[in-house]
Amino acid sequence: MGKKKKKSVLEQKKADTTKRLGIDKFYHDYYKQLLIIPFVLLLLAIIVIGINFAQTGMLVQTGVSLSGGLTLSVSLNEPMDKLALEERLREELPNDLLVRETVELGVQRAITIQAAPARVDEDLLALEGQVISVVTEFIPTLSTQDYTVEIVGPTLGQAFLRQTVFALIFAFVLMSIVVFYYFRSFVPSFAIVLAAFSNMVITLAAVILMDIRLSTAGIAAFLMLIGYSVDTDILLSTRVLKRKEKSVYDRIKSAIGTGLLMNASTLAAITASLLITRSEAIQQIMIILLVGLIVDMINTWIQNAGILRWYAEKVESEGGRK
Amino acid sequence: MNFRFILLILLLILSYIAINPQFDTDGAAIRQVERGSPAAIAGIESPTGAVAPTQREVIQSINGQPVLDVQNYYALLLGLSPNQTFALQTNEATYRITMPERPENASEDLFLDIGLTVYEVPSNNIRKGLDLSGGTRVVLQPEERVVPEDLELIIDNIEQRLNVFGLSDIVIRSSRDLAGDDFIIVEIAGAQQSEVAELLANQGVFEARIANQTVFSGGDDIIFVCRTPDCSGIDTRQGGCSPAQGGGSACRFSFSITLSQAAANRQAQATNALSIVSSPGGGASLSEPLDLYLDGELIDSLSISADLRGRPVTDIQISGSGSGATQQLAIEDSMANMRQLQTILVTGSLPVSLDIVKMDSISPVLGAEFVRNAIIMALVAVLAVATIIFIRYRRLLVSIPVIVTMLSEGFIILGFAALIGWNLDLVAIAGILIVVGTGVDHQIVIIDEALRKEEKARSWRERFKRAFFIIFAAYITTVVAMIPLMSAGAGLLRGFAITTIVGATIGVLVTRPAFAAFIERYVHEDDD
């Protein structure tokens, strides 16, 4: 055992003499300084979330599927003036409204209207009638076959939000337990959990800044994010901790080679989906995953890798000295 | 051949059998048969929700002329004349159906229906959830906590109400969320019928009172409710329809019911105590009317004719009204109200009243477009991933298995869904995306371990052990992340959680090991 450690220290010293260029050199020499980036991002994100919470009393703005209200999606055969429709709706209704269009490869295909109840006890079925009568002004031939209505009562929406947030926290705790059990070593496990936590927090702040109203699908996206972000972190930690050949830095670099390809393929799939999808729900999932994955690249390859390198080099040099 | 391949191929074959793709989809599938309609009299039965999509009864011809699709079915039906008896052939039997009579003074264009609801023949056994197939979903919450037996009772009653109403392709289930609240989720495929929401939420306590004393109520007191045109409909004797105050039109409906002897006796006692007064329209009636209440609300007040005083009559008329902007709309509203009231009288009341907490009415057109869009999206995403893999490794022998593995994972999930008959909805598609997406990550780990140049000395077994160490860790974290979602928030994301867990399990146990075996056998680092 001791012999093996000694060998790896030797290798590490040998590796340190290799000539490095450009990004490789920068990444190798300044990894501790680079650690500032993810932590500053995390801090900024917490500030954004804090300000938003102070202003609105909510962690994040929720769409009607979580806060109650009505969503009407109309499939379009010919283009429709979205702004004119929005104006007419605002004239007629006192409700908080959101009108969006769904575009598939540049062609307007559907229009979605979200309306929050103006009063707690507003009859949402009656609201549906009012919204539809305005839409009929624009599409006189509108029939029930052409549109989808989803109505969520405020109590169900809030219960749903509360419980999915609980589910999210619970999932996070379970994931942390699995990670700690798997690696049985505090610093590397903590680094993975911290990276996953930073991902969620920074992505949440991005969601606030992009003015996205979170829907049930968005919550599902955050859950997906746990799975996606932990993938690369586990790859990294396994490569660095469970192998002893070459230097810690070389093992990190080999993990980056694999991990960036994983990131690239996922990004390609997400971008393709985002360009094609016509579903509001899938669109939101993809936007959150896209942001989350970019954030994950910073948190995995700078934050997690930095902490892990600092830890592994320390352990291996101590092991070598013994 | 490696057992991992055999297992994968076996699962793919099983999935194919479960999905049972059909290439001949001519005809019109029967979704529903209206009660008492000519089709029902001829012996056609409504399919239950348990019948697999490709096993549904399909109409193949009418009077020897082939039925190609739904439009074709209606066109052929239009060509038949009233009272004509014709042969309707399905894949199961041939029925002789008689077209209904044309009602008096109905216009020539009135469509004479035989009471069948049809839809395009399903091309496979994958049950599409409401998000994709269109229909109505109502989520109900009891106003107070109920014991499980009551919940069962409510579900039975709701099912009965929908059946009486004429809907049979329905799924009703209860779901308990993390806070311990129970919800009842009702899904009606193919029909955009928001009016049923009210029917379901009504507790349906029906009471007939005289001088504020209950003489009979819904359920056991009523032994028969007439629902055929000869003793129910718009009540022409009471004036039928008339212009309503403040514009529009109002119509009255009535239907006859038969009371139990005990209820009739109670009514006789109650009327015995009343005096006779002369009614405004001439003739004599009793001093107190018969008031009809539904869930505590007065729906109608009927004057009782004088000669009924003290007589235990069992056959009585129940009436009510409806209104609308035009006379046609008023008639439709009255008929809808009548059907609701009849349904409630037949099925009795629920133990508690229910709140509608969610109601979705989803267009089948939008659903079909969404499916088409999702398939294109999935294929483009798979191609995008394969392209990236190809750019990195420059080998088709690596890229093609990646595509095959991704498609196999998707296909096996669909096969599993078809096998256990669960509805594939929008969130389940999101689940498939996460499975296939993490699957690619895992394949990259496998390829990378296999093609690693620096460690030629290591055996394949050791390399895959290391790859699967990473894969299993990622798998377990994904699964534990999904578990709490199974029942959060009325179980609306359950489809997502189940799909992800099932799909990831198949991936880790079957498709990814098979992929590894393929790479082991055919791809070697010294191939470059």
- What is the distance in angstroms between the Cα of A282 and the nearest Cα belonging to chain B? 7
How far is Cα B394 from Cα A102, in angstroms, rounded to an integer? 37
Whether A182 contacts chain B with CB within 8 A: yes
Query: B362, A228: Cβ pair inside 8 Å?
Result: no
Q: Which helix (H) or strand (E) holds A296?
A: helix A280-298
Whether B332 contacts chain A with CB within 8 A: no
Contact residues on chain A for B429, CB-CB shorter than 8 A: 282
Burial class, B97, CB count within 10 angstroms (exposed 0-12 / middle 13-18 / buried 19+): buried
**Which residues, in sequence order, are bridge partners of residue B207?**
B217, B293
Whether B371 contacts chain A with CB within 8 A: no
**From the first residue on, what is the mean pLDDT of each consecutive set of 10 residues in chain B (528 residues)?**
87 93 86 80 80 86 89 86 87 88 65 81 85 84 85 84 76 81 84 71 82 81 81 72 77 86 86 78 76 83 81 84 79 81 80 84 81 87 90 87 92 91 81 84 88 65 84 87 76 82 93 90 60
Q: Which token pair is A273? A: 């989906």
How far is Cα A125 from Cα A153, in angstroms, rounded to an integer? 11
pTM of the model: 0.79
Best of A151, A177, A189, A284 to disrupt the B interface (most B CBs within 10 Å) is A151
**Angle between helices A280-298 and A248-276 in degrees, nearest 10:** 160
Whether A225 contacts chain B with CB within 8 A: no
Q: Strands, DSSP E only, in chain A? A: 69-75, 97-104, 107-115, 147-152
Q: Which of B469, B477, B485 sits opposite A230 (nearest CB)?
A: B477
What ipTM score was computed for the predicted complex, to two decimals? 0.81
Q: Please give the residue of chain B at the shortest CA–CA distance from A73.
A: B366
Q: Which helix (H) or strand (E) holds A112?
A: strand A107-115
Read off the DSSP letter of residue B137.
E
Q: Which token pair is B400? A: 């093609």
3-state secondary structure of B231: coil
Whether A73 contacts chain B with CB within 8 A: yes
Give residues 142 to 201 of B whose Cβ lies within 8 Å of A: 177-179, 181, 192, 194, 197
Using DSSP bridges, classify how beta strands B182-189 and B222-225 pair: parallel, antiparallel or unpaired: unpaired
Q: Which of B381, B426, B427 sits opposite A269 (nearest CB)?
A: B381
User: Could you tell me which residues come within 8 angstroms of residue B240 by beta carbon, excluding any fewer than 6 positions away?
Assistant: B234, B251, B252
pLDDT for res B109: 62
pLDDT for res B453: 64
Read off the DSSP letter of residue B93.
-
- What is the distance in angstroms between the Cα of B384 and the nearest Cα belonging to chain A? 6
Q: Which of A73, A232, A276 sits opposite B366 (nearest CB)?
A: A73
**From the first residue on, what is the mean pLDDT of each consecutive set of 10 residues in chain A (322 residues)?**
45 56 82 92 96 90 86 84 88 85 76 84 80 85 82 83 84 89 92 95 95 87 84 90 82 90 90 84 90 94 94 81 48
Contact residues on chain A for B485, CB-CB shorter than 8 A: 164, 167, 171, 220, 223
Give residues 106 to 125 of A whose Cβ lies within 8 Å of B: 109-110, 124-125
Q: Which of A163, A175, A177 sits opposite B178 (nearest CB)?
A: A163
Whether A260 contacts chain B with CB within 8 A: no
Q: What angle do CA A78, A84, A85 make, to 5 degrees?
A: 70
Instruction: Report residue A57: phi and psi, to 5°.
Output: 75, 5
Q: B355 — alpha (psi -120 to 50), left (phi > 0) or beta?
A: beta
| pLDDT digit string, tens, across residues B441-460 | 899 999 888 877 655 556 77
Q: Which token pair is B209? A: 């009172």
Contact residues on chain B for A144, CB-CB shorter than 8 A: 192, 361, 363
Using DSSP bridges, classify how beta strands B315-324 and B249-259 pair: parallel, antiparallel or unpaired: antiparallel
pLDDT for res B528: 41
**Angle between helices B460-482 and A154-183 in degrees, nearest 10:** 150
Contact residues on chain A for B437, CB-CB shorter than 8 A: 228, 266, 269
Query: A272, B383: Cβ pair inside 8 Å?
Result: yes
Nearest alpha-carbon partner for A71 in A120, A122, A127, A138: A127
Q: Please give the residue of chain B at the shortest CA–CA distance from A233.
A: B474
